[in-house]
Structure 1
Amino acid sequence: MDEEHDEAGGRAETEPDAATDADADEGADEGEGDEAAWPGESDPATTTGENPLAAMEAALRGGREPGVGTDAYATLDLALRIGELLLAGGDTAESVDRAMGRIARAYGLPHTEIDVTLAAVGMSYLPRGDRPPVTAERRVRRRTPNYTRLVAVDQMVRDATAGKLGLQQAKFRLSDIIGRPTAYPHWTQATALSVLGGAGGILVGGGLYAALAAFVATLLGDRTGAWLGRRGIADFFQMALGAAIGTLVTVLLVATDAPVRSGSVIIGVVIALIPGRALVVSMQDGIAGDLVTGTTRLVEVLFVITAILSGIGAVTYVAARNGVPISLENLPSAPTTVAAPQTFGAAAIAVAFAVYHLVSRTLLPPIALGGMLAWAVLIEMRGLDLPAAPATAIAATVVGLLGTAYARLARVPALVCVTPCIAPLMPGTLMYRGMLELTTGRTGHAALVLVEALATALAIGAGVYIGGELLRLVRPARRVLRPPRRVRT
């Protein structure tokens, strides 16, 4: 199953309920101290794994000082596998750390040190009694999203923390989660990404033909990138080629005087290619204080954006040198009032994004409503003459607040509900305009537009995080189950 986890286990992404987990951590900290202990190998209750807290209590009553037994190693292995699974899917370092700590405490390891980076997770336990420490690490080999698995892992951690799962039961359940088939057929992801590109064309004012052209361009770029990926080509060149193919379709439409708003085609492709999930998580890591992981993720996002801009710029430059009349005058732009086609396009983008990340079908209707809400708030803010970055930040904050609230009611990680809803806010138009400005020689103005596009992208991640934090201000603390204390005599 380890081999299966290395290949399939990297397809999960989670965002546990931040406030719930914070309360659990707070409660566990109160229960930790010099008096806390954990049951060892000789404890029959722990070996059977039926009630870890009762087993801990029995060990304390017996006055035993347990050593590092097989259950300790099994607990470390379980926590590391969960951490690898969450990190492989792109979860925040804070959430991965929290989930691993909760699992360790649930199965009798209250004093652990956890290290989470973008490429690996590590855990150390220092037992009492001058015994040597136990340290282990797992590398993250693949990072691909699977939000259905994310929800399942989150629920497993909740059940383990509540004492509903023994250690062996938790191990079997995790293996079952890893081995489950995906929520949709394999071909669905490529189709969903292409639908996202087509809906992006509608979002910026393109018609049906523009949406169809964007669908085809996105599909060609995605399949070409997948073909390159199977041959070991780096992701940077895959993304650059995907953007170049979308731009090439746009150039061909312009060159043939097709009755299509050609600019909306490439903008739809760009919206499909921008890594919205990684962008949100990078900002959350940075704001939460995990600066190393957050900075690494952000640099990764910037490389992807650079690849997209490189693909657009290269094709646009060659087309302009060969006399294709690419102009800035007829670029599509978002409407200043809420219009039905664009609103439904925003809903389609959110749903397509969710399907691409394998979100459960039951969550698709609220995600569609969230996408429409995000777009409506953005248009209203732009109607008040706010610049793109602050208007986008406000829309993302609203989505973060309401999406996190709904996620808590549905008892699913907030990232599952929030991230698809912010997909319509991606600054595709600004990125394309900036590259056209650069191609036509207006370097100074192009730099300003590209900086605005980057600021808008960062505002999305910051707004989502702020929305979740605002909800925590009004949410009362919950009582949590604490490890038993040693009774002093």
Structure 2
Amino acid sequence: MTDAEDRKPQSDEARSAFRVPAGSSVTQVTQVIPVVPAAEAESSTTSEFAVPEGLTAPRTGTAESETTSEFAVPNGLDVTPPPVVEPEGSAFSLPSTYSASQAPPAFTPAGGTPAVNLPHDVPWQDRMRTMLRMSVADRPAPEPVHKAAEEGGPAVPRVLDLTLRIGELLLAGGEGAEDVEAAMFAVCRSYGLDRCEPNVTFTLLSISHQPSLVDDPVTASRTVRRRGTDYTRLAAVFRLVDDLSDPQNHLSLEEAYRRLAEIRRNRHPYPGWALTAAAGLLAGTASVLVGGDLIVFVAAALGAMLGDRLAWLCAGRGLPEFYQFTVAAMPPAALGVALTAAHVDVKASAVITGGLFALLPGRALVAGVQDGLTGFYITASARLLEVMYFFVGIVTGVLLVLYFGVKLGAVLDPDAALAMSRRPVLQIVAAMLLSLTFAVLLQQERSTVLLVTLNGGVAWSVYGAMHDVGNISPVASTAVAAGLVGLFGQLLSRYRFASALPYTTAAIGPLLPGSATYFGLLSIAQNHVDNGLVSLAKAVSLAMAIAIGVNLGSEISRLFLKMPGAASAAGRRAAKRTRGF
């Protein structure tokens, strides 16, 4: 082998490009390099980005196999930590940034916050109605509760259930929506439940109670399925609410439930035959009121009793009330047409008018208009729609009979309305008897029958004095007479701390527009549609005058004729809104 071949490197020698050349002196790096076995060293493949041997680089402290994100924050850069998220809680919980010491000043009206003082000698209806028309923040706190035997007070769901059951009986009995809300509010406050908001519609009752500003509200509701007229039961419910509202009566929740169950189980004060006889007597006295004689009295009474029995038969078969009113209106009209066809010298119009008096829904009409005037428009619309259906049912029944009577040759004179005789004493007696029989039909307590009878006599006397003697329009005369009925009825109810319906509903019976309704239907049956519509419009005007007069009389009694100690409760807010705002 020559010297040149000796200088040529061997082909199987592996030399590194970073190998220190011969003759160069490099300071030795004092770094301990782990020894790798020869087999592992030969098989390992190094990356081109690997750190060369002998070169030290600062480490980040993380493992070499850890993969960092491209969004990772570089070392040395300070970032503000994200805010702590509040745990999920109630919608009424206070924010974490809220501080009571640094809270802004509360809004105060320009006139200041009114001081409310509600003495207990004022009827609970006025006290509860006053608080319902105030904002929640301005209502006075309820009195300490002493009506629960268990420690900590009664259970909120049970109190709300009792409240709804009481409201159901009142609404089903025909009470106005505002009075039902006042009664429900009184029951809740009697058991110490503040921040309660009752809500009443035609078929649904609901109430919501919020224990505090940071607690979830508790809401319950109840549906009114059946309705019935029983003013005795209505008066018993009012006495229960009055006892609950009295702080001197420590009525427990169980005792209230027991009394409520007894009220629901009570039977009607009058049997069925007495109601049928009262319906006949009402129709007979109404026929005398519009000029009838003894024969007319008997015929109207027989027709009304027959119609009442037919309506009971339809009710037992499950027919709706529309058909019940239609069937009940047919017998009095049929008797009137039969007397005319038989050429009997009687006023057939008085027979038919008397039968209509027993069917006209005056109670529902007054309640519907009252709800509308106090701001309960949904309930008022439903009540007035119910009245319209009842009225259409009566119209259908009478028109069918009158149409066939005219076709058979019966001579019915619409101008007979102009020939009504004036018998003041007899008509006043008939009006009082009509109110008495109406009170029996409404299942009133016997103690209230005499008072409502006198109230009905006063109403007819005022109407006769204004219309017959003073020649004032019938609509204005009816409105004034109904206003006095509402005034006296409200005074009597405040004296007894009871509902005003038993003292007003039966007393407006003599004022109901029975004759105007009949003559309007007769004109339509004889193809005199224009005259018929005019007469029916008059009947509607009289009905609205009755309802508005009753409500206005009640409002006047509350505003100006206050009982002793009620002066401090005079700050009675307007219902819902004023002047459209």
Q: What interval of TM-score do these two structures reach, taking the shorter chain for normalisation?
A: 0.7 to 0.9
Aligned mate of 1:443, from 529, 541, 550: 529
Please tell me the residue identity of whatever aligns with 2:462.
Answer: V
**Residue 124, structure 1, aligned to residue 208, structure 2:** yes
Distance in 1, matches of 2:553 and 2:499, equals 15
Aligned mate of 2:448, from 352, 359, 363: 363
**Partner residue in 2 for 1:185:** 271
Closer/same/farther in 2, CA of residues 356 and 37 from structure 1, 3 Å limit:
closer
**Residue 154, structure 1, aligned to residue 258, structure 2:** no
Please tell me the residue identity of whatever aligns with 1:106.
Answer: S
**Partner residue in 2 for 1:354:** 439
**Partner residue in 2 for 1:257:** 343
Distance in 2, matches of 1:406 and 1:399, equals 11
Shift of 1:280: 0.9
Distance in 2, matches of 1:379 and 1:35, equals 48
Shift of 1:457: 0.8
**Partner residue in 1 for 2:486:** 400
Please tell me the residue identity of whatever aligns with 1:367.
Answer: V
**Residue 324, structure 1, aligned to residue 425, structure 2:** no
Distance in 1, matches of 2:407 and 2:477, equals 36
**Partner residue in 1 for 2:7:** none
Write out per-residue CA displacement over residues 321-351 of structure 1, whole angstroms, 9 at most, x where no aligned residue. 2212222243476545x52221111111100
**Residue 314, structure 1, aligned to residue 400, structure 2:** yes
Tell me, what secondary structure is at the counterpart of 2:267? coil
- Conserved? CA contact 1:261–1:332, under 8 Å: no
Shift of 1:460: 0.5
- Conserved? CA contact 2:282–2:437, under 8 Å: yes
Tell me, what secondary structure is at the counterpart of 2:416? coil
**Partner residue in 2 for 1:75:** 159
Closer/same/farther in 2, CA of residues 380 and 33 from structure 1, 3 Å limit:
closer
Aligned mate of 2:326, from 237, 240, 251: 240
- Conserved? CA contact 1:203–1:334, under 8 Å: no
Closer/same/farther in 2, CA of residues 346 and 333 from structure 1, 3 Å limit:
farther
Write out per-residue CA displacement over residues 114-133 of structure 1, whole angstroms, 9 at most, x where no aligned residue. 12111121112223375443
Closer/same/farther in 2, CA of residues 31 and 305 from structure 1, 3 Å limit:
closer
Tell me, what secondary structure is at the counterpart of 1:121? strand
- In structure 1, the gaps of 5 or more residues are 1-16, 50-54, 60-68, 483-489
Closer/same/farther in 2, CA of residues 134 and 198 from structure 1, 3 Å limit:
same
Closer/same/farther in 2, CA of residues 260 and 169 from structure 1, 3 Å limit:
same
**Partner residue in 2 for 1:345:** 430
Please tell me the residue identity of whatever aligns with 2:298.
Answer: L
Q: Scaled by the length of structure 2, what TM-score is found?
A: 0.72
Aligned mate of 1:102, from 163, 177, 186: 186
Tell me, what secondary structure is at the counterpart of 1:273? coil
Closer/same/farther in 2, CA of residues 479 and 267 from structure 1, 3 Å limit:
closer
Q: How does 1:17-166 map to 2 (within 5 A)?
A: 20-26=124-130, 47-48=148-149, 71-128=155-212, 130-163=214-247, 164=249, 165-166=251-252
Shift of 1:388: 2.0
Closer/same/farther in 2, CA of residues 24 and 126 from structure 1, 3 Å limit:
closer
Closer/same/farther in 2, CA of residues 179 and 31 from structure 1, 3 Å limit:
same
Shift of 1:316: 0.8
Closer/same/farther in 2, CA of residues 34 and 183 from structure 1, 3 Å limit:
closer
**Partner residue in 1 for 2:558:** 472
Tell me, what secondary structure is at the counterpart of 1:416? helix
Please tell me the residue identity of whatever aligns with 1:460.
Answer: I
Moved more, 279-288 or 327-336: 327-336
Equivalenced residue count is 444
- In structure 2, the gaps of 5 or more residues are 1-120, 570-581
- Conserved? CA contact 1:198–1:215, under 8 Å: yes
Shift of 1:411: 3.1
**Residue 381, structure 1, aligned to residue 485, structure 2:** no
Shift of 1:385: 2.2
Counting aligned pairs with the same residue, the percent is: 34
Distance in 1, matches of 2:158 and 2:355, equals 46
Distance in 2, matches of 1:314 and 1:285, equals 34
Q: Scaled by the length of structure 1, what TM-score is found?
A: 0.85
Distance in 1, matches of 2:419 and 2:325, equals 24
- Conserved? CA contact 1:93–1:290, under 8 Å: yes
Shift of 1:109: 1.2
**Which structure has the larger Rg over C-alpha atoms?**
2
Higher RCO, 1 vs 2 (CA within 8 Å, ≥6 residues apart):
1
Alpha-carbon RMSD across the aligned residues, in angstroms, is 2.7
Shift of 1:393: 0.6
Please tell me the residue identity of whatever aligns with 2:431.
Answer: A
- Conserved? CA contact 1:347–1:372, under 8 Å: yes
Please tell me the residue identity of whatever aligns with 2:300.
Answer: A
Tell me, what secondary structure is at the counterpart of 1:114? strand
- Conserved? CA contact 1:162–1:481, under 8 Å: no
Distance in 2, matches of 1:37 and 1:320, equals 67
Please tell me the residue identity of whatever aligns with 1:414.
Answer: A
Q: How does 1:232-311 map to 2 (within 5 A)?
A: 232-311=318-397
Distance in 1, matches of 2:322 and 2:447, equals 34
- Conserved? CA contact 2:194–2:211, under 8 Å: no
